[in-house]
Amino acid sequence: MKTILLVEDEGDLRYIIRTTLERPDVRILEAADGGQALEIAQRERLDLVLLDWMMPGVSGIAVGETLRANPATADVPIIMVTARSHQSDRDQGRALGAVAYLVKPFSPLELLDAVEEALR
Amino acid sequence: MSEMATAMTVAVEADVVAELSPQALQTVMYARDLRFLLEREARKTLQLEAANRQLERYAEDLKRAWQEERQRREEVDRAYYDTLLRLSRAAEYRDGETGFHMQRMSKYVRVMGIYYGLPENEVDELAAAAPLHDLGKIGVPDRVLLDPGPLLPQDREIMERHTIIGASLLEGSSSRLMELGRKIALTHHERWDGSGYPQGLHGDEIPLAGRIVMLCDQYDALRSLRPYKPPFCHDTVCRILLEGDDRTKKEHFDPRILDAFRRLHQEFASIFSASADPT
């Protein structure tokens, strides 16, 4: 059983992504903002984090940096999901060690591929 | 996923992006992926259908090749039987016979083989091999072969060697038919009571094919004109075979085969009159 943390402030989109990724051998935890995400990351052992970039409060990039700074979560793969597609954003995501970088509206097939790859 | 990458390079038009909400836009992406998957399935289906047609072609070709092969095999079989028949005719012409004797021999042994309950292919082989019984006459000098007789003892010995000559001509072939022909050539003058030649075999030592051909050959010889005898009618021949005379004894024949002849003699009469030598 793999555990994915889905961090997305938009409820509808969270629902869509959860529906896309749901399968019997995967447990999906949801966080509606950066604070919730860090809270869950402290008590759960995560296999993958799907991270929205633009969120009110603690931003996605801040969540990523915090996860990397903590030895317990430093190695968890991160998939960035964002509306922005500027090259500088990509570079930032890469600096965080993101394994994939998806731009909204994302292709569900690309999302599935990226998750499959990250969980392998 | 390179196919996927190609699909995704089709950018959503700028004005559409401007008009739609992010949620609607995300829905568009799902719709587009769904269409991509459907199209890929359709392509796969086409490929499968093409592969299927290809397989059907192979199956057709295989079937045709098999039929052609079978046809060729049948032609070879026919040519083989035909060659054997012509070979045995060569022997018959030497002593002035017409070839009708051989045709009748095939028919007599066929009737006997069927009566004996031999499998169909063995009956066919028996009928094809029976005409070879006198092949060895090829090796008998004209002086002896054409002598109206009675033969001197040393000439009789030369004449009797046609059994051994025929067998040696047919010896060492891997063909079942040739091997059957060899047995028949060697043993068609053996007698049930052991008084025959060349080996003086007794009873079941004589192969069934040899015993059958021996009786059929006797019937046909008695019905035919020979330099030393007139042709006898069917009833006379039946009496000679079933009861014996000064030369022929019923002990010469396998009792079961003689019994078969007793039941089948009318068929022998029909065969003889249907393909009698022209007079």
Instruction: Report the complex ipTM.
Output: 0.70
CA distance B44 to chain A (A): 18
**What values do phi and psi take at A33, rounded to 5?**
-155, 175
Give the SS3 label for residue B229.
strand
A54 and chain B in contact, CB less than 8 A: no
CB-CB contact of A38 with A58 (8 Å): yes
A103 and chain B in contact, CB less than 8 A: no
Q: Does B10 score more than 70 pLDDT?
A: no
Cβ within 8 Å, pair B4-A108? no
3-state SS record for chain A? CEEEEEECCCHHHHHHHHHHHCCCCEEEEEECCHHHHHHHHHHCCCCEEEEECCCCCCCHHHHHHHHHHCCCCCCCCEEEEECCCCHHHHHHHHHCCEEEEEECCCCHHHHHHHHHHHHC
The reported pLDDT for the residue numbered B148 is 81
For residue B54, what pLDDT band results from cuts at 50, 70 and 90?
A: confident
Q: Does B5 score more than 80 pLDDT?
A: no
CB-CB contact of B187 with B178 (8 Å): no
CB-CB contact of B244 with B254 (8 Å): no
Mean per-residue pLDDT, B110-135: 92
Nearest to B207 by CA among B116, B92, B85: B116
Start-to-end CA distance of chain A, whole Å, equals 12
Residue type, B135: L
- Of B12-21, B99-108, B139-148, B178-187, least confident by mean pLDDT is B12-21
Query: What's the Rg (C-alpha) of chain A?
Result: 13
Cβ within 8 Å, pair A104-B36? no
Cβ within 8 Å, pair A104-B22? yes
pTM: 0.57
Mean per-residue pLDDT, B156-160: 93
- Which residues, listed in sequence order, are joined to residue A79 by a DSSP beta bridge? A50, A100
Q: Does B254 score more than 60 pLDDT?
A: yes
CB-CB contact of A64 with A34 (8 Å): no
Nearest to A2 by CA among A26, A29, A28, A20: A26
